[in-house]
C-alpha cells in the first residue's frame, strides 16, 4: 500500500513537471527564436535553426546608424520617457484613489467601485474616435503628455481595485493609533499606508511601466511625426513595405525593449511576487 502511494505521488509529481516543462517551452521558444533572428544575416526570419550559422551584430548597429527613416534611439527615449512618467503618475493617482476608497466611507462609494469594475472590462481603444477628436480640439495631437495622461487614466480602474484590496488588509488600528498621537490623514497615508503597501505599489509600478511599451493602437492614433514615435510604432514601420520589411532588424529592436523591463522587474521582484498574490478585494 505504501508503495502504491509513493507510485501515485511520483506520477503526480512527474505530471506536474511535464506541464511546467511544456509551458516553459511555449514561452521560451519564441523568445529564443527572436534572439537568434536578431543575429541572423539578411532580412528574413526564416532559418533552419535557432542558433544562426553566421551570427552578426549588423542589425543592432543598423538600429543606431542614424538613418533618417530609422530613428531607433529617439523612439527608445520617447518610450522610456512616456513609461517612466506613466509609472509615476499611475502610482500616485492609484494610491490616492485606493486610499480614499479603503479608509473613508462616503456617498456613492460602492457605485463608484462598481463603475471601476465596469471600466476595466472596456478596452481603451473602444474610445479611439473620441480621444482623437479630443486631442484635435485641445491642440494636443502628437503630444507625449496627452498620451501619458491617457495611459494613466487607463491604468486607474484595475490598479485601484487591486490597491484598495491590499490597503483593506492593513489594520485600521494603525490609523487610529496614529490619530491618537495627532497624525493627520496625510501623514498616515505617507508614513504608514504607503510603506506597508510597497508590494502592491511594485505591481502597479510594473503595470504602469510596461503598458506604454506594448501599446501600438493608442500611440499611433495620437502620434504623427517620426520624431515623436514610440518603439511599437517605429518597429512596426520596420516590417512595413515603406521600410523594406526588415524582420531581422525588427527582432533586434524588439530584444532591446526587454532590457528596461528586465531592470525594473529585477528591482521590484521581491515586492512584486508578494504583491501579486495579495490584494483580495473587500466590499
Grid-cell match 478585494, residue found: 281
pLDDT at residue 280, rounded to an integer: 43
Distance CA 9, CA 14 (A): 8
pLDDT at residue 48, rounded to an integer: 56
Helices 231-238 and 198-214: crossing angle in degrees, nearest 10, is 40
Provide the 10 A C-beta neighbour count for residue 79. Answer: 24
Distance CA 147, CA 156 (A): 14
Mean of all residue pLDDT scores within the chain? 83
All cell numbers assigned to 119: 471600466
Which of 1, 14, 80, 44 lies closest to 247, judged by CA?
Answer: 44
Q: pLDDT tens, 208-257?
A: 999 898 888 899 889 988 889 999 998 887 777 555 567 788 888 888 88
Which of 80, 76, 121, 120 lies closest to 209, judged by CA?
Answer: 80
Number of H helices, E strands in the chain: 13, 0
Among 86-90, 112-116, 132-136, 215-219, which stretch is predicted with the lowest mean pLDDT? 112-116
Give this prediction's pTM: 0.82
Residue 278 has pLDDT above 60, yes or no: no
Amino acid at each position: 500500500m505504501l508503495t502504491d502511494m509513493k507510485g501515485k505521488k511520483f506520477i503526480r509529481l512527474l505530471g506536474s513537471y511535464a506541464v511546467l516543462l511544456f509551458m516553459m517551452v511555449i514561452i521560451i521558444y519564441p523568445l529564443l527564436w527572436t534572439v537568434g533572428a536578431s543575429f541572423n544575416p539578411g532580412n528574413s526570419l526564416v532559418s533552419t535553426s535557432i542558433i544562426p550559422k553566421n551570427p552578426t551584430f549588423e542589425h543592432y548597429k543598423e538600429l543606431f546608424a542614424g538613418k533618417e527613416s530609422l530613428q531607433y534611439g529617439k523612439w527608445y527615449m520617447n518610450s522610456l520617457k512616456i513609461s517612466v512618467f506613466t509609472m509615476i503618475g499611475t502610482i500616485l493617482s492609484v494610491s490616492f484613489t485606493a486610499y480614499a476608497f479603503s479608509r473613508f466611507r462616503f456617498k456613492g462609494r460602492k457605485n463608484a467601485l462598481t463603475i471601476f469594475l465596469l471600466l476595466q472590462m472596456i478596452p481603451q481603444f473602444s474610445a479611439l474616435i473620441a480621444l482623437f477628436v479630443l486631442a484635435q480640439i485641445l491642440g494636443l495631437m502628437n503630444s507625449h503628455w496627452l498620451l501619458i495622461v491617457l495611459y494613466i487614466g487607463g491604468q486607474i480602474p484595475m490598479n485601484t481595485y487591486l490597491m484598495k484590496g491590499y490597503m483593506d488588509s492593513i489594520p485600521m488600528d494603525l490609523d487610529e493609533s496614529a490619530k491618537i498621537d495627532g497624525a493627520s490623514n496625510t501623514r498616515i497615508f505617507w508614513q504608514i499606508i504607503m510603506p506597508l503597501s510597497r508590494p502592491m505599489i511594485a505591481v502597479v509600478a510594473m503595470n504602469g511601466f510596461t503598458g506604454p511599451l506594448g501599446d501600438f493602437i493608442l500611440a499611433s492614433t495620437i502620434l504623427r511625426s517620426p520624431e515623436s514615435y514610440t518603439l511599437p510604432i517605429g518597429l512596426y514601420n520596420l516590417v512595413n513595405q515603406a521600410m523594406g520589411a526588415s524582420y531581422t532588424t525588427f527582432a533586434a529592436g524588439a530584444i532591446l525593449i526587454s532590457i528596461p523591463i528586465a531592470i525594473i522587474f529585477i528591482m521590484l521582484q521581491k515586492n512584486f511576487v508578494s504583491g501579486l498574490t495579495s490584494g483580495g478585494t473587500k466590499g
